[in-house]
């Protein structure tokens, strides 16, 4: 199934929370939805799930508008809402059964589905407890289990790993990745390393408008203009001489010392040029010992800050 | 229909799990029994095999109990955010409303079922007017339906259960007392309209054993009005200013 968001807009009173955004998520794709607080992520998610009607624009899932809220589409969507709301007075098993029945899972497969989710989300020891008695991490697992029950073709997860311990985060990431190959997944998060680890595509939203759309690698490239190298040359006596020689290289734009690291420099090349060869050749010529040469990539954090601050 | 029943079953089991159901049933039987057999028109003294005192006291018990029953329905879901969970499943707003309505109505029916021994004992004691009893029960049932739908509405407009309870009680005060009282002090059309709006006048006419279409229509349309208002409160999330 394919999610197609067309010119989606939501206006609350004087405030435009989401301002005409359009994108598509294809089957087999895991889309990471990023943005600072209040950027409109959750509002967008709520409109995609059909909980809220957009002021204008539309969301189509497999060509069917979410304004119609048809049962056929709704039961193919697994949704983990923001803050993971749960019926705290229900025991885990009873709760999952309730959700499975609401989603119209056939009587024959309800038990199998519940068993599968209990195993998948590691809830076996907690399954008879009331949800109110569970810790935050276990509640999060219950939230994920209810979203994934019945193998929905579309998964919409609002901060899926919040409250989980590091081991669990890795498990859930792997699970999402594994599911993502056959489903359409969209997840929102604040954790940038998570997006890097799980998502094929990133969407960044700021103040209600889309500011970036692409793979993690392509976004990093886009925001980086010049090549930056971190090098270290083991010539303790001739630091100044080395620096001068480096500055004279044709391709080099700027050199800065790396504070606290003897013989370390940060070399920014001129636009479009690469200094790797030149630095290496210079060292060979002078018989300097080059112990480090690392191309510095812009991190997603840098991209995120650049686009949203 | 199936989805309505799935939700109604879940609501009912949370009534029983949270002890609300037991408290309501026990208090209801206790108070109604007290008034039917002893405090009201003591049937052993008056030597009349009627359930008049039961039908006189029950509306007042329901006046408090129904808001207590309905206050949680939507207000708690609004408060914890589970309403979003529910409405993004393969269930429509109307199915959610009917599910909760049916659950409350079933709890009321269970409560009434526990008062059947009163009926049977009086029947055994003397010559009871069966028509009047069943019409009286029907009147109570319809009144409960109308009052429940009002309670669902007041619960759907807030995320605070106390507010939901008090708003339903205020609506109840009007239908139980104020319309009836005011009807006495107005003559002509105003008086008739106010009298028509009062629960008491309809219950009295049904308690006499007469099932009038106007009484049925009054309670049924009030019920539907309450449910439509609830739906519009749920749909408000879609409206943007």
- Give the pLDDT confidence score for residue B19 in this predicted structure: 87
Question: Which of A191-205, A211-225, A254-268, B150-164 has maximum average pLDDT?
Answer: B150-164
Q: Which of A69, A75, A89 faces B92 most closely, judged by CB atoms? A: A69
Angstroms from A293 CA to nearest CA on chain B: 52
- In chain A, domain spans: 3-222, 225-298
- Using alpha carbons, list the distances in angstroms from residue A31 to A181, A183, A217, B21: 12, 11, 14, 46
Mean pLDDT of chain B: 88
- Are the beta carbons of B88 and A90 separated by less than 8 Å? no
- Using alpha carbons, list the distances in angstroms from residue B74 to B23, B62, B86, B164: 21, 20, 11, 9
Cβ atoms of A72 and B92 closer than 8 Å: no
- Are the beta carbons of A85 and B91 separated by less than 8 Å? no
Angstroms from B240 CA to nearest CA on chain A: 6
How many Cα atoms sit within 13 Å of A131 on the Cβ side? 19
Q: B17 or A306, which is more confident?
A: B17
CATH number belonging to the domain at A225-298, selected among 3.40.50.300, 3.40.190.10, 3.40.50.10490, 3.30.70.100 = 3.30.70.100
**CA–CA distance, B223 with B230 (Å, rounded to integer):** 11
The pLDDT of A140-167, averaged and rounded, is: 88
Residue of A nearest to B87 (CA): A51
Q: What's the pLDDT band for B236 if we cut at 50, 70, 90?
A: confident
Tens-digit pLDDT profile for residues A12-53 = 888 888 998 999 998 888 999 988 888 888 899 999 998 888
- Give the pLDDT confidence score for residue A176 in this predicted structure: 85
**CA–CA distance, B7 with A304 (Å, rounded to integer):** 43
* CATH code linked to domain A3-222: 3.40.50.300
Angstroms from A307 CA to nearest CA on chain B: 29
* Tokens 């600072």 belong to residue: A36
Please list the residues that pair with A212 across neighbouring strands: A204
The pLDDT of B77-90, averaged and rounded, is: 92
Cβ atoms of A54 and A8 closer than 8 Å: yes
- Give the pLDDT confidence score for residue A276 in this predicted structure: 83
Angstroms from B220 CA to nearest CA on chain A: 28
Residues 6 or more apart in contact with residue B48 via CB below 8 angstroms: B41, B126
- Are the beta carbons of A49 and B3 separated by less than 8 Å? no
Q: Which of A10, A50, A86 faces B82 most closely, judged by CB atoms? A: A86
Residue B241 has pLDDT above 60, yes or no: no
Residue of B nearest to A75 (CA): B90
Angstroms from B89 CA to nearest CA on chain A: 6
DSSP B19: S
Residue of A nearest to B99 (CA): A102
Q: A291 or B102, which is more confident?
A: B102
Q: What's the pLDDT band for A147 if we cut at 50, 70, 90?
A: very high
Q: Name residues 74-93 of chain B within 8 A of A (Cβ).
A: 80-82, 84-92
Interface test with B, best of A8, A76, A77, A101 (most B CBs within 10 A): A101
- The whole-angstrom distance between residue B12's C-alpha and the CA centroid of its chain comes to 16
Lookup: tokens for A234: 């083991």
- Are the beta carbons of B89 and A102 separated by less than 8 Å? yes
How many Cα atoms sit within 13 Å of B43 on the Cβ side? 22
Partners of B16 on chain A (C-beta within 8 Å) are none
- Give the pLDDT confidence score for residue A230 in this predicted structure: 84
- Are the beta carbons of B90 and A104 separated by less than 8 Å? yes
The pLDDT of B3-21, averaged and rounded, is: 91
**CA–CA distance, A95 with B63 (Å, rounded to integer):** 32
- Are the beta carbons of B88 and A12 separated by less than 8 Å? no
């Amino acid at each position: 199934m394919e999610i197609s968001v067309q010119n989606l807009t939501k206006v609350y009173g004087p405030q435009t929370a989401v301002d005409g955004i359009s994108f598509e998520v294809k089957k087999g794709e895991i889309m990471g939805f990023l943005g600072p607080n209040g950027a409109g992520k959750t509002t967008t998610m709520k409109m995609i799930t059909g909980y809220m009607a957009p002021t204008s624009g539309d969301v189509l899932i497999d060509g069917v508008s979410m304004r119609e809220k048809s049962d056929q589409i709704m039961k193919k969507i697994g949704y983990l809402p923001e803050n993971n709301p749960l019926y705290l007075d229900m025991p885990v098993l009873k709760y999952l059964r309730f959700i499975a029945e609401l989603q119209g899972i056939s009587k024959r497969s309800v038990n199998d589905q519940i068993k599968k989710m209990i195993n998948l989300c590691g809830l076996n020891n907690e399954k008879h407890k009331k949800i109110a008695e569970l810790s935050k991490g276990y509640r999060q697992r219950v939230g994920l289990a209810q979203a994934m029950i019945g193998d929905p073709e579309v998964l919409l997860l609002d901060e899926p790993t919040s409250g989980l311990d590091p081991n669990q985060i890795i498990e859930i990431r792997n699970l999402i990745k594994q599911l993502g190959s056959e489903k359409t997944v969209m997840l929102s998060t604040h954790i940038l390393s998570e997006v890097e680890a799980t998502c094929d595509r990133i969407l960044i939203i700021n103040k209600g408008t889309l500011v970036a759309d692409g793979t993690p690698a392509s976004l990093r490239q886009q925001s980086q203009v010049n090549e930056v190298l971190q090098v270290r040359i083991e010539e303790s006596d001739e630091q100044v001489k080395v620096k001068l020689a480096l500055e004279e290289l044709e391709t080099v734009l700027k050199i800065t010392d790396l504070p606290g690291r003897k013989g370390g420099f940060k070399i920014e090349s001129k636009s479009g040029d690469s200094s790797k060869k030149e630095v290496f050749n210079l060292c060979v010529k002078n018989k300097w010992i080059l112990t480090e040469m690392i191309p510095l990539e812009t991190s997603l954090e840098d991209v995120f800050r650049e686009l949203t601050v | 229909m199936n989805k309505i029943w799935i939700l109604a079953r879940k609501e009912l089991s949370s009534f029983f799990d949270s002890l609300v159901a037991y408290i309501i049933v026990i208090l209801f039987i206790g108070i109604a029994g007290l008034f039917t057999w002893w405090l009201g028109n003591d049937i052993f003294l008056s030597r009349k095999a009627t359930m008049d005192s039961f039908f006189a006291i029950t509306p007042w018990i329901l006046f408090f109990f129904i808001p207590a029953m309905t206050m949680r329905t939507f207000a708690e879901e609004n408060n914890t955010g589970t309403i979003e969970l529910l409405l993004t499943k393969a269930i429509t707003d109307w199915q959610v409303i009917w599910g909760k309505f049916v659950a409350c109505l079933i709890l009321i029916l269970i409560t009434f079922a526990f008062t059947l021994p009163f009926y049977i004992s009086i029947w055994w004691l003397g010559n009871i007017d069966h028509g009047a009893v069943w019409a009286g029960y029907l009147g109570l049932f319809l009144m409960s339906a109308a009052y429940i739908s009002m309670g669902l509405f007041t619960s759907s407009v807030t995320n605070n259960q106390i507010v939901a309870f008090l708003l339903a009680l205020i609506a109840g005060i009007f239908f139980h007392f104020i319309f009836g009282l005011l009807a006495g002090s107005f003559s002509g059309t105003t008086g008739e309209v106010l009298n028509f709006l009062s629960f008491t006048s309809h219950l009295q006419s049904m308690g006499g054993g007469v099932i009038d279409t106007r009484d049925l229509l009054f309670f049924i349309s009030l019920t539907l009005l309450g449910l439509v208002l609830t739906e519009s409160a749920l749909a408000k999330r879609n409206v943007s200013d």
